[in-house]
Amino acid sequence: MRVTDTSDRWWRTAFIYNLNVKSFMDWDDDGVGDLEGLSHRIDYLAALGVTCLWLAPFYTSPNKDNGYDVSDFYGIDDRYGHHGDFVEVVRTAHDRGMRVIVDLVVNHTSDQHPWFRSARSSPDSPHRDFYVWRDEIPADAPANVFPDAEDGVWFWDEKAGAYYEHNFYRHQPDLNFANPEVREEIAKVVGFWLEVGVDGFRVDAVPYLIEPGAADEHEYLRLLRGYISRRKGEAMMLGEVNVPRDEQLSFFGGSDADELSMQFDFIGNQRMYLALARQDPAPLVDAIESRPAITTGSQWANFARNHDELTLDQLSDDERDEVFAAFAPEESQRIHGRGITRRLPPMLDGDPRRIRMVYSLIFTLPGAPVLYYGEEIGMGDNADIPGRSAVRTPMQWSDAENGGSSRAARRRLVAEPPSGAYGPEHVNASAQVKDPDSLFSYVRELAALYRRSPEIGWGDYERLETGDAAVLAHRMSGSTGQTVALHNFAPGPTVAELTLPGADEDWRLVDARSGTTHAVDAKGRVSIRMDGYGAEWFRLIGPDSRRL
Ligand code: GLC
């Protein structure tokens, strides 16, 4: 019996998998993925080792922003099924030991939401103050999040006779969180989905939810977290917070840790791409080492790609240009002057060693890994589809028509799969599941390693000397043991001259995959041969270790 029960912080060691229902699996042959199709694919995710499913917005929506424009927070887009189908997904996932979190998109609503229709209809509407209105555009208006699409954050509404605020698209009016009634309504929404069975939320656009300039800017996040925790002790909030390092801690709730449970490490993500472009891990190392210290209730989410552009907005102009030059040489592969619209494998010219090295980093750097569907099989983007939608093509299940994602006519699909080298005939789950040398099998192995090594999520990070600047070596240690990971950012083979402080000739370094044992000398040194772009993981086993 352990005195410290950590089950209420399950996210510290979660393997999170994000998918959009419409792009995953179509079970009723209408060309649109649905909840029933997803239920049938939960076993695939369980086999991969996923422990938490993150569902992108599946709510009723005009779908002008991939479902991030919600017109009914309680409704489910008819094309995906109904609440019964949703409960089946949650039940099946829970049965396979997987938790389910859902996107909570409450910074704004769709302009088709009944609240907004009512709000714009009259100054006396009970919903008028649900949104943010001005008679004039304020002098200090910030830039819009989507500069390629919108000029600003204030839009003149003829009907209302006033400007409303929209940090995102103009069809996404911002909710007014200073209004206690809005807070109450959102609490009901959150309470509803918790009761339906979800285990937490991926909270969209968090920095826009707080009230900049208010006496207590973070009050709302704290209230929301408190409410969620009271309703369901184990529920978590994973926040989308792309801000500089020195602002991040405040979103966890400072030393009280009473706001977000997790944050995506956007800085680590961006600096990882800079490191890849330079074939030098230094920028990534700086990023990891500049993370603010967090408490045991909080966690970082490590990721390679997501459903949006690969934003590089936290890099300097020169650094961004380096990454653009390496991974998005064509203007058409860029968006908003700050990001890349491609998936990882095409950016890395399909080099399997390099692709694996990136996922090995995602699973071994301190934190919890998050994958976007299709990453586990190396799906590419469809470069013919402009903007962020290039990475939102149907999951490639097999080499059948439409990649096996749907039996509908191709023109009815939500998006066309890519053709050529990344087409379903070359990249699909069915072939990879059976192939022990596939990327799928590699990622499954990473997931198993991560699961066996809770110190990656819980332990202390320490960088190790290797004598080769292109090799990142780090150790994660905790009460569960020690994991050592080596990543070679350069294309050529090398020998890493590793030094392991605290270890001596009574210790041994065991390859986590092959079981090969490397002797450690009296000074804690050991030499490890590495391939170009190689990634290796080891257990460091001391004389007292009881680990297998
Ligand atoms: C977040 C989502 C993005 C969406 C935006 C507006 O940034 O990740 O896809 O467009 O919020 O909701």
Query: Whose C-alpha lies nearest to ligand 1, atom 8?
Result: 308
Within a domain: 2: no
User: Are 159 and 63 part of one and the same domain?
Assistant: no
Catalytic residue among 69, 103, 157, 240: 240
| Kind of pairing between the strands at 16-19 and 52-55 | parallel
- Whether 157 and 301 map to the same domain: the answer is no
Provide the pLDDT for residue 297: 92
- Concerning whether 425 is annotated as a catalytic residue, the answer is no
pLDDT string in tens for the chain (548-residue length): 344 445 569 999 999 999 999 999 999 999 999 999 999 999 999 999 999 999 999 999 999 999 999 999 999 999 999 999 999 999 999 999 999 999 999 999 999 999 999 999 999 999 999 999 999 999 989 999 999 999 999 999 999 999 999 999 999 999 999 999 999 999 999 999 999 999 999 999 999 998 778 888 899 999 999 999 999 999 999 999 999 999 999 999 998 999 999 999 999 999 999 999 999 999 999 999 999 999 999 999 999 999 999 999 999 999 999 999 999 999 999 999 999 999 999 999 999 999 999 999 999 999 999 999 999 999 999 999 999 999 999 999 999 999 999 999 999 999 999 999 999 999 999 999 999 999 999 999 999 999 999 999 999 999 999 999 999 999 999 999 999 999 999 999 999 999 999 999 999 999 999 999 999 999 999 999 999 999 999 999 999 877 66
Instruction: State the total domains in the chain.
Output: 3
* Residue 482, SS3 per DSSP: strand
Considering the domain architecture, whether residues 210 and 235 belong to the same structural domain is answered as yes
Nearest CA to ligand 1 atom 12: 68
Determine the 3-state secondary structure of 529 from DSSP: strand
Specify the ligand 1 atom closest to the Cα of 65.
Answer: 10
Specify whether 72 is located in the same domain as 139. Answer: no
Q: Are residues 201 and 148 in the same domain?
A: no
My answer on whether 134 and 264 are in the same domain is no
Judgement on whether residues 283 and 390 belong to the same structural domain of the protein: yes
Q: Is 17 in the pocket of ligand 1 (CB under 6 A)?
A: no
Same domain, 434 and 341: yes
Residue minimizing CA distance to atom 4 of ligand 1: 68
204 a catalytic residue = yes
Q: Which of 417, 450, 483 is the last residue of a domain?
A: 450
Q: Say how many Å lie between the CA of residue 204 and the centre of ligand 1.
A: 7
- CA-nearest residue, atom 2 of ligand 1: 204
Look up the pTM and report it.
Answer: 0.97
Do 103 and 120 fall into the same domain?
A: no
Half-sphere exposure of 250 (CA within 13 A, CB side): 15
Is 17 a domain residue? yes
Same domain, yes or no: 119 and 101: no
In a domain? residue 51: yes
Residue 455 lies in a domain: no
Residue 451 tokens read as 């699961």
**Is 65's C-beta closer than 6 angstroms to any atom of ligand 1?**
yes
Q: How many CB atoms lie within 10 A of CB 356?
A: 18
Is there a domain that residue 529 lies in?
Answer: yes
Q: Has residue 171 been placed in a domain? A: no
Is residue 303 in contact with ligand 1, taking CB distance under 6 Å? Answer: no
Q: How far does residue 36's CA lie from ligand 1's centre (Å)?
A: 25
512: domain CATH number is 2.60.40.1180
Residue 497 shares a structural domain with residue 395:
no
Query: Helix, strand or coil for residue 262?
Result: strand
**What range defines the domain where residue 425 resides?**
7-107+177-450
404, 429, 450: which is the final residue of a domain? Answer: 450
Please tell me the predicted confidence (pLDDT) of residue 286. Answer: 98
User: Residue 161 sits in a domain of what CATH number?
Assistant: 3.90.400.10
Could you tell me if the CB of 309 is within 6 A of ligand 1? no
Q: Is 308 in the pocket of ligand 1 (CB under 6 A)?
A: yes
* Structural domain includes residue 310: yes
Contact, 264 vs 226, CB < 8 A? no
Q: Which of 168, 169, 203 to mutate to test the pocket of ligand 1 (most atoms within 8 A of CB)?
A: 168
Domain boundary among 431, 450, 469: 450
Q: Is the residue at 339 inside a domain?
A: yes
> Phi and psi at residue 176, in whole multiples of 5°?
-100, 100
Q: What is the pLDDT of residue 299?
A: 98
Q: Distances from the Cα of 238 to the Cαs of 37, 227, 248, 263, 370, in angstroms?
A: 26, 15, 13, 6, 11
Based on the domain organization, do 59 and 128 belong to the same domain? no
| 3 state DSSP class of 119 | helix
